[in-house]
């Protein structure tokens, strides 16, 4: 568990993000502190996914300053990007699991790819993470044999496996039924409260925001609006 502090894990100032057509988002200012839970909302095409990608150096920031998990992502060197991404957990709407290997092997693959070597430490980390998401009984299951909700929990486990400082989720409940969506959101909130991991959750699900209220920032009219500051 991370000790909660007031340290900023995301600090964007006057950021501009472009796409093929030109400026997508301009004058973006955003601060997320360690332990915060923040929703990111906006219409399709408004720039939510691009903003998330910019935080883990998968989309270039045209100008401005951006500090994420201790790294300057505007000027980050290529060799430092894998280190940055080990500090960030990413949850995708489409799960992106490796369907040719079981749940244990999916998580082991991530750990070994990010530098874990010792077998006992790998096993302990997988056990701890699967218990956190309530899937320890699915250790040997193949992803194709899991329900949609269980597959998303494996995706959450994969995002958490390296004890990230920041967790980013792009429409994590987009493919789930209402009951499973509620269970997934409750799980994310529980993890946020129990671990102090900051979270930025992109969503179209306003019912979830009403049910689990938290700070909301919105991609609108080519920039980012913090609804708490309106």
pLDDT at 126: 97
Chain centre to alpha carbon of residue 63: 23
Alpha helices in the chain (DSSP H): 48-55, 81-86, 103-113, 119-132, 148-160, 178-195, 206-211
pLDDT at 24: 86
CA 157, CA 163: separation in Å to the nearest integer? 10
Domain borders along the chain are 1-87+164-230, 99-162
Tens place of pLDDT per residue across the chain (230 aa): 444 557 899 999 999 998 766 678 999 999 999 999 999 999 888 899 999 999 999 999 999 999 999 999 999 999 999 899 999 999 987 778 999 999 999 999 999 988 899 999 999 999 999 999 999 999 999 999 999 899 999 999 999 999 999 999 999 888 888 898 999 999 999 999 999 999 999 998 888 899 999 999 999 999 999 876 55
Answer left, alpha or beta for residue 130, where phi above 0 means left and psi between -120 and 50 means alpha: alpha
Cβ neighbourhood burial of 1 (10 Å; 0-12, 13-18, 19+): exposed
pLDDT at 1: 44
Superfamily of domain 1-87+164-230: P-loop containing nucleotide triphosphate hydrolases (3.40.50.300)
């Amino acid at each position: 568990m991370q000790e909660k502090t007031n340290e900023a894990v995301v600090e964007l100032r006057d950021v501009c993000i472009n796409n093929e057509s030109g400026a997508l988002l301009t004058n973006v200012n955003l601060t997320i502190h360690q332990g915060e839970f923040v929703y990111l909302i906006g219409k399709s095409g408004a720039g939510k996914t691009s903003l998330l990608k910019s935080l883990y150096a998968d989309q270039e920031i045209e100008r401005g300053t951006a500090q994420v998990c201790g790294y300057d992502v505007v000027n980050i060197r290529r060799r430092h990007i894998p280190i940055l991404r080990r500090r960030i957990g990413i949850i995708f709407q489409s799960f992106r699991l490796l369907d040719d290997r079981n749940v244990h092997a999916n998580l082991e693959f991530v750990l070994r790819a990010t530098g874990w070597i010792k077998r006992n430490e790998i096993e302990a980390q997988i056990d701890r993470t699967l218990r956190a998401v309530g899937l320890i009984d699915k250790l040997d299951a193949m992803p194709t044999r899991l329900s949609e909700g269980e597959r998303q929990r494996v995706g959450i486990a994969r995002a958490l496996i390296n004890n990230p400082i920041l967790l980013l989720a792009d429409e994590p409940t987009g493919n789930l039924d209402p009951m499973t969506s509620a269970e997934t959101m409750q799980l994310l909130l529980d993890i946020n409260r129990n671990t102090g991991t900051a979270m930025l959750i992109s969503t179209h699900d306003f019912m979830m925001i009403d049910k689990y209220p938290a700070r909301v920032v919105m991609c609108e009219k080519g920039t980012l609006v913090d609804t708490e500051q309106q």
